[in-house]
Structure 1
Amino acid sequence: MLKENLSLTQLLALLVNFLLGSAIVIGVGTEAKNDAWIAISAGSVCGVGILFFYLFFMSRLPGKNLFEIMEFCIGRKLSILLSFIYITYFLYTSSRIIRDFGELMASAIMPNTPIELISLSITMVIGYILYLGIEVLAALPRYLHPIFLAFYFY
């Protein structure tokens, strides 16, 4: 397995872009109206807290991934069950995101294009970026962050 390194600024940029992208597309904090920034900030604090929790375990168990850390902490059988739930949840979540984004693209931008083709295109782009590695994905916010901020504030 290749060892890929991210700087803290790259990790922060990935986190900020993920949160801003979700807030723009989904409309996070719609009930909060003018105070939606508080809802986004609270979610960010929770996310950063979980990140620091994971980083704490990674510093105590260097060289181990999330699944190996779970196995070390709670035992093999329970970690297999939790790993299966974790993987299933994120497969479901990612498929929902691709479907929702595909429907948004199909209804707003390309109404005559089948949603299957849009979803396949999105999946191929994601697969290619993942094939190139996390460092390439982490380099994208340098270019996309100003665009996201412009959409967010205007």
Structure 2
Amino acid sequence: MSQQKISALQLFYIIIGFEVGNKFIFGGGAPAKQDAWITILLGMLFGLILMLIYVKLSDYYPGDTLIQMIPKIIGKYLAYPIILYYLCYFTFLAATACRDFSDLIYTTILTETPMPIISVSFMVLMIYCLRGGVETFARMGEAVFPIYIFSLIVIWILLLTVEDFNMTNLAPILGNGVEPVLKEVFPYAITFPFGETVLITMFFPMLNKKQHAKKVGMAVILIGGILLIINSMINIAVLGPEIYSKQSYPLMSSTRMVSIADFLERFDVLVILMMVAGVFFKVGGWMYGVSVGITQLFNLKDNRSTLLAIGTIIIPLSFLYSANYVEARELGTNIIQPYLHIPLQIIIPILLLCIAYIRRKFNPENSSV
């Protein structure tokens, strides 16, 4: 497969957009109430450790994606089940992000439009963009991410004008004890969104300057984490800890409280704009990862031929995996966290790094075979 190249800044736009894409809308750390921002802070610190693991794997195998590394580390036959595990994981999370997008759009602005039409329209746009390759995706990221951040900053400024805005809602710090915070940090705050950046291992070989990989990875976690912390604090200050902990879309609820001179209202359209931009990165990142993985697994010439098939799978899967929002959250807690996120984001990368280190230390001449 011919490999296009992207700059460090372009990779940063793609992965940070992917990391925070729909996390702003869903908030995070709700069970910790006023300490939700602390769960994100601790999740970010663990996320930095995970990123160091991903970067070190890339240093050991600089020209390889995660899919190409695995057979070199544990052998071809043991690698196939794990590779399929990752490909199914990428596909499933693309479907969940697509469903989240369709649910939000359907329940807010396109209530008369059948949800499958929303999903199919978005998927057609996504396939069209990704068929141009990683360079096209990166250029789209350069155009979309500034819009995303601009919308977020405008929302934050507007939220500061809300009459109920009160920073004392963040007190008392650890008022409910340490236990609710720790329960939320592991695994939820670590795996979503910081652990999902395991996808960056599918993009590292595309960097035109490999020495910038660590800087990009660390910047993604740090800047993304800081933005999420600020967002969480502002939402709690507006809604209060009790309401914040019960909201499915806290940023949407906060924005609906904005009213300037009893005339300018309904700024939640900016949240919708953010969701569209965020899901572009989220679904695009997962789809690109699985398409490249399939291409490398079966030694295809390029990944464009796989995108239509992947999109065809994602649309029905997004409607089959859950009937509604509540069922989707239960599935996330009972299935996705223990059987997908934790093994594929944490356990397997750590084991791969340990085995790769041992191979290089005791058998350096065959460590990259």
Q: TM-score, normalised by structure 1?
A: 0.83
- Classify the secondary structure of the residue corresponding to 1:92: helix
| 1:30-45 matches, cutoff 5 A | 30-45=30-45
Q: Distance in 1 between matches of 2:94 and 2:126?
A: 11
Tell me how far apart the structure 1 counterparts of residues 43 and 16 of structure 2 sit (CA, whole Å). 11
Q: Residues 10 and 148 of structure 1: is their aligned pair in 2 closer, same or farther, counting only changes over 3 Å?
A: farther
Query: Would the aligned equivalents of 1:103 and 1:115 in 2 still touch at CA under 8 Å?
Result: yes
Give the TM-score normalised by structure 2: 0.38
2:126 is matched with 126
**1:135 aligned partner:** 138
Offset of 1:13 from its aligned partner?
4.1
Equivalent pair of 1:129/1:136 in contact (CA under 8 Å)? no
Unpaired runs of 5+ in structure 2?
A: 160-369
| Higher normalized contact order (CA 8 Å, seq sep 6+, divided by chain length) | 2
| Aligned CA-pair RMSD | 2.3
1:111 alignment partner, SS class: coil
Which of 148, 159, 172 aligns to 1:144? It is 148
Q: Which one has a bigger Cα radius of gyration?
A: 2
State the distance in 2 between where 1:13 and 1:149 align.
17
Aligned to 1:89: 89
Larger proportion of helix:
1
The separation in 2 between residues aligned to 1:85 and 1:115, in whole angstroms, is 29
Contact 2:11 2:138 (C-alpha < 8 Å) held by counterparts? no
CA–CA separation in structure 1 for the residues paired with 2:128 and 2:26: 25
Matches of 1:95 and 1:102, distance apart in 2: 11
What are structure 1's unaligned runs of at least 5 residues? none
Match of 1:6 in 2: 7
Secondary structure at 2:22's aligned position in 1?
A: helix
Q: Aligned letter for 1:131?
A: R
Task: Give 2:270's aligned residue.
Answer: none
Tell me, yes or no, if the aligned pair for 1:19 and 1:40 is still in contact at 8 Å. no
- 2:69 maps to 69
